[in-house]
Every structure is written in C-alpha cells, then in structure tokens.
Amino acid sequence: MSEDDLDLRSLSDEELVEQMHDDLYDGLKDEIVEGVEILLERGWTPYRVLTEALVEGMRIVGIDFRDGILFVPEVLLSANAMKAGMGLLRPLLAETGAPKVGKMIIGTVKGDIHDIGKNLVSMMMEGAGFEVIDLGINNPVENYLAAIEEHQPDIVGMSALLTTTMPYMKVVIDAMIEKGIRDKYIVMVGGAPLNEEFGQAIGADAYCRDAAVTVEMAKDLIARKHNQLARGA
C-alpha cells in the first residue's frame, strides 16, 4: 500500500503515533491534522496528543537536523505541520473556564525566528488560566518595553533557541533595570540552549526547561509575589 492510501483510522493508537512521527518528519500537514483529530476522537487528552505525538515527533526531527540529515526547508515543513496540529489543540487546552491567574507577555528575542516552543508555552499557560500576550518572533528590546508598558503583565517571558541569540535576553533585563522597572515583574526565560546557570547569570527569576515547568514556576512565583505584597501591605 502506498503512503497515499494509508488509512490512519485503521491504525492502533501506537501505530498511529508512530505514523504521525513519520508524517511530521515528512512535513505532511494534512496527515498531522487528521492524526490529531483521530487521537482526540479516541479520547486522548489534548496534552497527551501534544506531548506524545507532536513534541516527541519534533524531537526526532531536531536530532536529524542537528546531524545534517534534514535541512532548513524540510524542517520548515515539519514546523508547519506541527503548528497545524497545535492549532487544533490550542482552544482545547485553553478551555479551563478558570478565572485568570495572571498575565504574561512572551516573545522570541531579536535575531531568532524559532517559535514552536514559545507557542507551546503560550498554549500551556493559557490552559493553566493565564492571559498571554504573544509578541511573536525576532523582538528587539523596544518591543518588550512597549508591551510591558501597555499590558502591565505579571510575567515577562523570553524564548531563544540559538546560542547566538540567547545573550540578548540580558539586553532586555538590563534595559528593565535601567528604567527602574526590573523588580516590578517576574522574568522567566526558556529555550533549548539555556540552562539554570545561564538564567541566574543574566538575572532572570526563572529558567524554564519546558512548558509544563513554566506553568508550575509561573504559579509559584505569582503566589510568592502576592504573599510579598500582602506582607508589605
């Protein structure tokens, strides 16, 4: 049977997830959307579809990109397929009905156009009841400062996927210090090349390994901030 004839519905859950990893690798957007729909129909939670079918598939793409087996145009197709799948899950993850627990602005820093991880963080934060203002990609410091002023968030989030762009996070934090507003906001950073040590070195409040950790840390830091305010009042 050719790839075109493959009936995704005839596959078991395990086979379907494996097929979706292949389809993501091949950048097959329609097949990814169909796979997501099938898994949801079979009762999978949106979070499980996201992590087991999409994020895991993208991890495999990342390995072959690193090893020079896949190149930018192919990875771009994979990224588009991933985004199409995420588009279906976004409203489901955001459907909590809970009162807003806080507000976050988030953007990928200047020089960097990677946005899948940032989008995932936004989705999970929305799902946890945060209001998220997404600044998109390639953000110069001015964008962060303008968004802070306009939206008065609790959290300023930054994403960087390149070793060459991650130092720009410090530019943003330093600009906040210079304006005397650094301590008013919780600064959280994330992205594959970062680590705890880097987060501390640039003066962030938290380095977040993944989207789930971001949600937990955000809740924790907001609670601490509220406690501090209550004590100071």
**Window of 22-30, 37-45, 68-76, 126-134 that interacts with ligand B1M by CB under 6 A:** 68-76
**Window of 84-92, 126-134, 172-180, 182-190 that interacts with ligand B1M by CB under 6 A:** 182-190
If one asks whether residue 120 binds ligand B1M (CB under 6 A), the answer comes out as: yes
If one asks whether residue 139 binds ligand B1M (CB under 6 A), the answer comes out as: no
Contact 214, 189 (CB under 8 A): no
What is the closest distance, in whole angstroms, from the C-beta atom of residue 7 to ligand B1M in the complex? 29
What is the closest distance, in whole angstroms, from the C-beta atom of residue 2 to ligand B1M in the complex? 28
Contact 151, 98 (CB under 8 A): no
The 155-159 sheet, strands edge to edge: 130-139, 102-109, 155-159, 186-190, 206-208
Three state DSSP letters for the chain:
CCHHHCCHHHCCHHHHHHHHHHHHHCCCHHHHHHHHHHHHHCCCCHHHHHHHHHHHHHHHHHHHHHCCCCCHHHHHHHHHHHHHHHHHHHHHHHCCCCCCCEEEEEEEECCCCCCHHHHHHHHHHHHCCEEEEEEEEEECHHHHHHHHHHHCCCEEEEECCCCCCCCHHHHHHHHHHHCCCHHHCEEEEECCCCCHHHHHHHCCCEEECCHHHHHHHHHHHHHHHHHHHHHHC
Closest CB to ligand B1M among residues 19, 159: 159
Q: Which of 46, 85, 117, 153 binds ligand B1M (CB under 6 A)?
A: 117
Q: Which of 7, 66, 180, 229 binds ligand B1M (CB under 6 A)?
A: 66
Which residues, 81 to 110, sit near ligand B1M by CB under 6 A? 106
If one asks whether residue 208 binds ligand B1M (CB under 6 A), the answer comes out as: yes
Q: Which of 49, 58, 93, 123 binds ligand B1M (CB under 6 A)?
A: 58
| String marking each residue 11-50 x if it binds ligand B1M according to CB under 6 A | ----------------------------------------
Closest CB to ligand B1M among residues 79, 173: 79
Kindly list the residues in this chain that would bind ligand B1M in the complex (CB under 6 A).
55, 58, 61-62, 65-66, 72, 75-76, 79, 106, 111-118, 120-121, 157-159, 161-163, 188-193, 208, 210-211, 214
